Structure 1
């Protein structure tokens, strides 16, 4: 039988004719080809995955900038669970030196100076055609401030004219600005004349929103501020270096005005004794926490009965009040039945008794010095040198701010809306308003969810607390009226600025502000009006307005940037949003209802539980030893309100951030060169907005007078109380940043 033929297309037939060796070789070749194909496929998949992983890193310019900023601040040699402040801020603190003109350097103060650089550029620009008058006045004010040649040439002429209008400064004797006559001394009249320039020694006197009816205004009288930063500076002994430095400042200024060096010592010694006595009758801030205790309503006609007028020299309550309200641009008559709130009766019970222990001359010297201490910074540079010497002892500041910084700061304070008009046009991005509103929505929602977890608050009070949050008014960026020329100029009608008369401009502005504020007594309260300049680096909560405010100046890195990761924004501005919201529920804010009225909307049982629970924070912060202040211990009660706001605010911001991540279904894209998750970055930025360096004198000053805890403990204290932080950084139980006992109110 002939052999079977195989067709070229018949593979089975061909295979049958192969030898065993050929078959083995063919199989081996096929296996090798298959292995190569698998390796090629795996390699391709690996390359693709590598490329995908590379694509997950955010490489936009904004992300690179954010990563660089975060990286430069961190000290990676520090274990975050041992000390998170030193971890997050360690390298920033090593690479930032406190300038001579500052007592401290902080992230927010660096940002503030950057804002003032922008203001310098804007205020030095030429006026444009049809520029609003308010903007023109701001530029003229700046030019008058920066012109030191003119200020030196004018010397003391404007100051001595001012002193003459007050009846003279007794300690100057027969020198210009002196020539005081004891028989002409009228304390009511003198105090009212100082109020023309918003200076109120002995009696803190002002018009403000009625605490119990926030739709109306009322007259208030309170204990005044003192000429040193706080009462404790007077109570540390007559040989305390800070009191001696203050005494030397008074003497040096008097000598510059021409006082007789052989006679002024007696005047100064008597004045210091009076200031010490005044400090002794003022009430410490830690005894002024209950707003209800500060609301003591009288009529003007009753004041002389409850707080008898002195007999040694002339002071009549009604005369004083009507002299203030009778000043030009106010021209208002106050009757006996006009209500007035005396915030501190304990002070006024002792004021006139204390005054009568001293001579008219001593009281007059003190009152006149009180306004001159505020005005010597507006005189020739030699007075600035005297202030520098005083501040060197008081706060450790060894230099003076550059003149342009002083001038931009002053103009921003008094022409805030006009300066804000320029700043917003130059720097502010409108998208920030939309973004901020979205963040506030999320943080308020988080507050409500955290509220449900509380065990010390009953359900009815929780419901009222939610209502108060819903009623919070928001102010973001700037008020729209600054873009309207007519509205912007309205506040400066019948006023002008002289670019060649700095001192005179200041006195005009002070008078403008006091007349504005006192005229409002009979005007309805506009709760929509802004109360701060858009070019401000800060944030606020107002109890009478139940309002949070975030000016344009703070809506920039490290707090916020629309193109930065949300982890950084929530850790930065988000923690501030939560902080300001929580102020509505701290030791003072909780006393005001959703309308901004002082009103006990909590029951007594809940109030007692709040006070008892908040004691945890007092004990916690009392234990912190501040290394920058030489190891001095903090005062947890003095800083209680801000500590409550820090702790509650951060919890809300983190909860809102995680809810935002959940809503998008995935984590944010990592930042380059940082081996940190976005939850970790949230806490890092929360800490880094607090990075700061302090001189020892300033740190001690902060401990004595500050309402906030030092930045170090605003970070450490808050994070020690957050389980979410410890979980995020895997901090072992019992480590410094993860103590077993944690405090919580909100």
Structure 2
């Protein structure tokens, strides 16, 4: 996968690892501040047109009730009797349905996706204070089936909310993680499979037909990949002078090999990674323009720690070497396997040297300190291992753009580039060093295409994947092909997905909820004694300026505009490998051409089917794709306690990202600029230390979390829960709706917290948890629940937790 178009202009802490085909479930994110870490990559082509923002906080929500006092005494008596009967039925229904759910625990959540409530809101069950609609009964059964009511919620709210779910939902074979998000993604995959397998004549745009052809090429029912064998990758390698590791020694050819020429081809023609990463992206200090950005990269294993702490990771390093050797042997019968193994050891040695100069993500959270404005000429002085003007010109000449020594470049890791330059300058002057550089480059090209080669290549990394993730990552072919198609042609797939699966009435409700959560978030500013008045006013102004985009970009439903997005991208139904070569090159050109174009702040950076959400600081924008606006997170027919507890918290989370330790550095226009009072900054940072210490005290299998690395997400988790709760509380104060779920002896405020917690019901292998703690800016699911609720007095009040219990500690952390 191309690392250039994917490069983030916000989460710079996450780019120390390069995209790796080894890890099918742990690919680094390209989005700026995601709600969860995506398990798939999106090749982000430019997208036009966004969505609007909701204007009314409570408009259309309050349901009209007939007053109790308007009934006669006889009517009230009859109503009480009838309500009792309805209540008994409602209590029995979820129990029966819960039993059914347990018997069918391995089936997808879609079995419980009941359509919208019918009838008027002034129904008998409403007047009884009990929601007995199909949606409410199924939601109640689903929530009950996840709970472990033997656990005191004040002792461990995660176990209380999810204990039974964890026991009855073992991690499926081939997966390292299994949770609510994963189940919904599987539901979405089924929808996408159906639409990708429909007759071609029913598709309305060429882009949709391309998506279908790509999907067919991935399924490869004619076994074209097996027939071609290694021929496609060997032909590709000729563009960088072959791959020394798998070829008989040829001193003359090795002397002719030129590092800069090969790197320019790998990066700027093939669009492959290695050594460092760069992209055209929004300028952090002038978000209306595009600029070249550069950052550290170059590792195959998902974290520098695997290379540096060799004693702890010896088994993984050996498995990695075995993996590389297997791939080399599959590509060549002309070279002794032991010789290939020695060559691959040299590649690991070079990656180790790169790891040693790579800065850990936890140390890369200050955006102002990361930003270094240079020119191409300055870059030449900083890192003279390349002729940088020639290097960039080799890329931009493809789109008729000229680069000069005075052209601006933003470098986020100048020390890394300077040190990398020293390493490469040392190696490039010796025959052995040049061979090491060539083998490193060849490996990074090959590993990027292993998924598009015969099964033997795809299986070569099974042992390594198992060691890293606790799972070999295998899944049904159609599922991986759906995911891959969505990655390459996601907006074409998205057009079909939203027509099939996204209800138009979802958007107005989502807009109203966002407006309510934003209003609650802003109202809380007045309660923050650490914030000075000038900063408070500016913060309110920034919150008002946040735009939201919901569901999907409108243009994808216009066949002509959708076709224009993918331009001349050629996709054939029997050319899986070449389809990916062409799509990589297409993505590169689409990124390069942006350099001289103004920034379009209505672009989408995530495809509609994704079960995720994100905030982009350069656009001061929050985005909620159609893929997440579904049960169990969101449904028009759910009581609002459930919608606010699940989806409302997601909305609050993304809003809070605008004011976390990184987002707060960007102003209302999306520019990296100082707008906080210095004294307020100091008080804010003091409060962040509380969160850092709190989360660093949590452990998983004896391994402590990195509270500094996860700080931004922890701020968003805590602030998002608080904002969503107060938004729900404000709504409840303006509504006579007292509906609760049948079978659950919980108030609507308790239901809010339960709905929030059950979003995070999940299980992970110990290996996946270890990798998450090393890599992920998000805390593990358990602590995304108990961390925020233990900081909220409102939670303790609702569940009547005594002071000093685990969920109601004496010392609490609060920022927003």
Check whether TM > 0.5: yes
SS at match of 1:556: coil
Q: Is the counterpart of residue 333 in structure 1 residue 333 in structure 2?
A: no
Aligned partners of 1:170 and 1:180 also within 8 Å: no
- Pairing 1:512–2:586 present: yes
2:183 to 110, 114, 117: 110
Greater relative contact order (CA < 8 Å, ≥ 6 in sequence): 2
| Cα distance per residue 1:83-123 (max 9 Å; x no partner) | 00000001110111111211010100110111011101111
Aligned to 2:292, the other structure's residue is in SS state strand
2:659 is the alignment partner of 1:564: no
Q: What's the offset of the Cα at 1:272?
A: 1.3
Secondary structure of 1:549's counterpart equals: strand
* Distance in 1 separating the partners of 2:203 and 2:403: 42
Aligned residues between the structures: 693
Paired with 2:667 and 2:653, the residues of 1 have a C-alpha distance of 18
2: CA distance, partners of 1:338 / 1:112: 43
Match for residue 808 of structure 2? 738
Q: Distance in 2 between matches of 1:44 and 1:498?
A: 70
Rg comparison, structure with higher value = 1
Q: CA RMSD in A?
A: 1.7
Q: Who is 2:264 aligned against? A: 192
How far is 1:521 from its partner? 0.3
Does 2:324 align with 1:255?
no
Matched ranges for 1:197-236 at <5 A: 197-236=270-309
Rounded to whole Å, the distance in 2 between the matches of 1:116 and 1:598 is 38
Residues 130, 691 of structure 1: alpha-carbon distance in 2 compared, 3 angstrom cutoff: closer
Contact 1:123 1:142 in 2 (8 A): yes
Does residue 647 in structure 1 map to residue 718 in structure 2? yes
1:429 aligns with 2:500: no
1:76 to 124, 145, 149: 149
Counterpart CA distance in 2 for 1:719 and 1:191 is 50
SS of structure 2 residue aligned to 1:206 = strand
Post-superposition shift, 1:179?
9.6
Distance across 2 between alignment mates of 1:43 and 1:465? 56
Normalising by structure 1, report the TM-score: 0.91
> SS at 2:200's partner residue?
coil
Deviation at 1:43, TM superposition (A): 9.7
- Does the CA-based 8 Å contact 1:443-1:578 persist in structure 2? yes
Q: CA deviation at 1:47?
A: 4.7
Cα pair distance change 1:142/1:180, threshold 3 Å: farther
Q: Equivalents in 1 of 2:490, 2:780: separation in Å?
A: 29
Any residues of structure 2 matched to 1:86-235 within 5 Å, and which? Answer: 86-128=159-201, 131-147=204-220, 149-174=223-248, 181-195=253-267, 196-235=269-308
CA contact (8 A) 2:382 2:417 kept: no
Describe how 1:396-411 pairs up with structure 2 within 5 A.
Answer: 396-411=470-485
Residues 1:662 and 2:693 aligned together: no
Distance 2:424 2:460 in 1: 29
Correspondence for 1:279 among 355, 361, 371:
355
* Match of residue 703 from structure 1: 773
Residues 170 and 365 in structure 1, CA contact (< 8 A), matched pair in contact too: yes
Partner Cα separation in structure 1 for residue 452 and residue 251 of structure 2 = 23
**CA gap 1:707/1:225 in 2 versus in 1, 3 angstroms:** farther
CA distance in 1, matches of 2:684, 2:484: 41
1:355 matches 2:424: yes
Matches within 5 A, 1:313-462: 315-327=386-398, 330-358=399-427, 359-462=433-536
Gap change, CA 1:47 and 1:614, over 3 Å in 2: same
In structure 2, relative to structure 1, the CA distance for the partners of 1:564 and 1:299 (3 Å cut) is same
The answer on whether the counterparts of 1:171 and 1:254 sit within 8 Å (CA) in structure 2 is yes
Residue of structure 2 in register with 1:678 after alignment? 748
2:80 aligns with: 49
Rate the CA distance shift 1:520–1:179 in 2: closer, same or farther, 3 A. Answer: farther
Distance in 1 between residues matched to 2:716 and 2:780, nearest whole Å: 14
Instruction: Measure the CA separation in 2 of the matches of 1:437 and 1:266.
Output: 59
1:260-271 alignment runs, 5 A limit: 260-271=336-347
C-alpha change, 1:45 and 1:215, in structure 2 (3 Å) is: closer
Offset at 1:449?
A: 1.1
C-alpha distance in structure 1 between counterparts of 2:278 and 2:326, whole Å: 30
Offset, 1:42: 9.6
Structure 1 residue 225: deviation in Å?
Answer: 4.4
Does the aligned pair in 2 maintain the 1:134–1:488 contact within 8 Å? yes
Q: Is the 8 A contact 1:123 1:138 kept in 2?
A: yes
Runs of 5+ unmatched residues, structure 1: 1-40
Matched, 1:498 2:572: yes
Q: Does the CA-based 8 Å contact 2:240-2:263 persist in structure 1?
A: no
Q: Is the 8 Å Cα contact of residues 382 and 414 (structure 2) preserved in structure 1? A: no
Note closer, same or farther for the CA distance 1:179–1:85 as it changes in structure 2 (3 Å cut): farther
- Residue deviations 1:515-570 (CA, integer Å, cap 9, x gap): 10111000111111222111111000001010000000000011100101100000
Q: 1:544 touches 1:595 (CA, 8 Å); kept in 2? A: yes
Specify the SS of the correspondent of 2:549: strand
Work out whether residues 540 and 548 of structure 1, in 8 Å CA contact, stay in contact via their aligned partners in 2: yes
- Structure 2: distance between partners of 1:390 and 1:45: 69
What CA distance in whole angstroms lies between the structure 1 residues aligned with 2:461 and 2:342?
Answer: 22
Range with greater deviation from structure 2 (191-200 or 631-640): 191-200
Residue of structure 1 in register with 2:107 after alignment: none
The answer on 1:542 being equivalent to 2:640 is: no
Normalization by structure 2: what TM-score? 0.83
User: What is the match of residue 467 of structure 1?
Assistant: 541
Whole-Å Cα distance in 1 between the matches of residues 728 and 467 of structure 2?
45
Question: Which range is displaced more, 534-543 or 219-228?
Answer: 219-228
Q: Distance in 1 between matches of 2:391 and 2:264?
A: 6
Q: Go from structure 1 to structure 2 and tell me whether the alpha carbon gap of 1:701 and 1:129 turns closer, same or farther (over 3 Å shift).
A: closer
Gaps of 5+ in 2: 1-71, 87-124, 428-432
1:609 deviates by 1.1
